[in-house]
Amino acid sequence: MTNSCRAAAAIALFCVACTHPDRSSDPPQTHDADASQPAEMSLTPEQQADAGITLATVTTGSDSDVEQVSGRVVLPDTQVWRVGVRTDGLVETVAVSVGDFVRRGQLLARYHADELRDARAKYRAALADVERARAAEMLALRNATRADTLLELKAASVQQAEAARQDAVAAGAATRTAEIEVNRLRHVLEHDLQVPVDLDPDSELADQVPIYAPGSGYVLERNVSAGRAVHTTDDAFVIGDPSRVWVLASLREDEVTRIHVDSAASIALPGGTDTFAGRVSNIGQQADASTRTVPIRIVVDNRDGRLRPEMLANVAIGVGTPRQVLVVPSDAVQQIGDEDVVFVVSAPARFRVRPIRVGSTSGNTVDVLQGLKAGEQVVVSGAFILKSQLLRAAIDQ
């Protein structure tokens, strides 16, 4: 007898066992049925509580053909920061290590830079130039006013008054130029080197440049240490934010036309049981001439941090036109021989075993192609106990 025949026989025998007089008082209670009808049993609320019975409603969802490909987890370009330095120097202190989580603006390291001392000296000189230029402008304005007054009194010529006004204009331009230089040097100090302009020259931090985190994330690389030289061509740190990741994969060119941006994808790690939902965010515009595949990019939410850069992944992408299917929790489906069955609520406190035909599995749910209707309730937790009772009754017969 084949496994499927045994499954049918088990259900039929259970139906016969429902009428056995010696077992009419054994829980759970069963109800008469002929071999052509599904087996049915009843459980009191107390028995359901003891068995841990929980129910779920059969719902509708969408399904499509699935293409299985391999992929690789990477960080999005917009969530990786390569932290460099503005000028060459010698590292004084390092505040973080690889793997540390840092927040935007957090201090990573400090390094000594001669250029910082030079920039401060130029800034102080520029401030002095501004003061001199402003004093010269005030003097030129007074001279221009005096020349205008003398012109009105016929004590000065028009040429002398015009020359005084031109001198005032030139002095004003010199002041603006000096102020621009001060602002430029202040920008170099405060923005480029990220140091205060008014720091005490005798402070031990006067010639040290801080390195701050440009974004929040984990330190992926640290290429500096105390006493080591750092150069403008180096990446001092690499910081990545893994809250959202990309999965890069390639799809056969004949399948590319069946997907589109925002197509659903399911990601699983080799050997793992968990799946991660994603969406296709980019489809390559050029096929690989040697492999005849097109690169695709899938965006996956990773706020729990379980996906890490450079992990390999199995990718299932829905292709073609989605179709409506019925969906039940995976735990609701039990196997008897080669047959998949569920326990359907046929009436209050009554459960009927029903063979079904299942489709693909996604996460903790499974598609049902035949055997159920939307809105029916099936047993989820405790389905295995009902299956055990069903088989026990069949064996006893």
Residue-wise pLDDT tens for the chain (397 aa)?
A: 444 444 444 444 444 344 343 433 344 444 443 444 446 777 788 887 887 888 899 998 777 677 889 999 999 999 999 999 989 999 999 999 999 999 999 999 999 998 888 888 899 999 999 999 999 999 999 999 999 999 888 888 889 989 999 999 999 999 999 999 999 999 999 888 889 888 777 777 778 999 999 999 999 999 999 999 999 999 999 999 999 999 999 999 888 888 889 988 999 999 887 889 999 999 999 999 999 999 999 999 999 999 999 999 999 987 777 778 899 998 899 888 788 999 899 888 888 889 999 887 776 888 898 999 999 999 988 877 777 777 776 666 5
**What is the value of pTM for the model shown?**
0.61
Structure tokens at 217: 């994330």
Q: What is the pLDDT of residues 167-180, one digit of tens each?
A: 999 999 999 999 99
Q: Please report, for residues 106, 114, 242, the alpha-carbon distance to residue 79 in angstroms, rounded to integers and kept in the order given.
A: 17, 32, 8
The rounded distance, in Å, linking the Cα atoms of 394 and 5 is 13
Instruction: Calculate the dihedral angle through the C-alpha atoms of 86, 91, 92, 96, rounding to the nearest 10 degrees.
Output: 90
Q: How many CB atoms lie within 10 A of CB 320?
A: 14
